[in-house]
C-alpha cells in the first residue's frame, strides 16, 4: 500500500466513524424509503436530512453546499440489497 493509499484509507475510516449516526439512521429507515425513492440517493450529514436526489453527483453537490467541502456527509443509494 502506498502512502497516498494509506492516507486515503485512514481518512475514509475517520469519516466513517464520524458518520455512525447517519449510517444507523439510513439503515433504520431504508425499507420505508424503498417504496417511493428506490434508486435515488439520500444525503445525510451532521445528523441532518439533506433530501433525496436523482443522481449521485446531484447529492454530492448538495452535500458540499449544505455541509461544506471538508465536513463529512453521507450519500447512499436506496436499493433493496447493498452493492
Residue 74 in grid coordinates: 453521507
CA distances from 18 to 12, 39, 41, 52, 58 (A): 10, 25, 20, 21, 22
Judge whether 83 lies within some domain.
no
What average pLDDT does the structure give for the chain? Answer: 86
Against a cut of 0.85, is the pTM above it?
Answer: no
Is residue 82, in this structure, part of any structural domain at all? no
pLDDT at 82: 56
For residue 53, being part of any structural domain is answered with yes
pLDDT digits (tens, 9 = 90+) for 11-58: 566 666 778 889 999 999 999 999 999 999 999 998 899 999 999 999
C-alpha span between 67 and 79 (Å, rounded): 24
Answer yes or no: is pLDDT of 83 > 50.
Answer: no
The number of domains in the chain is: 1
Tell whether 57 is covered by a domain.
yes
Structural contact between residues 60 and 75, judged by C-beta atoms closer than 8 angstroms: yes
Reported confidence tier of residue 80, pLDDT bands at 50, 70, 90 = confident
Domain with 17, as residue range(s), is 3-77
Residue 12 counted as domain residue: yes
Amino acid at each position: 500500500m502506498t502512502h497516498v493509499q494509506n492516507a486515503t484509507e485512514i481518512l475514509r475510516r475517520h469519516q466513517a466513524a464520524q458518520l455512525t449516526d447517519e449510517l444507523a439512521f439510513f439503515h433504520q429507515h431504508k425499507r420505508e424509503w424503498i417504496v417511493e425513492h428506490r434508486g435515488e440517493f439520500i444525503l445525510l450529514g451532521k445528523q441532518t436530512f439533506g433530501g433525496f436526489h436523482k443522481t449521485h453527483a446531484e447529492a454530492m453537490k448538495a452535500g458540499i453546499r449544505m455541509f461544506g467541502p471538508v465536513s463529512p456527509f453521507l450519500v447512499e443509494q436506496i436499493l433493496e440489497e447493498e452493492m
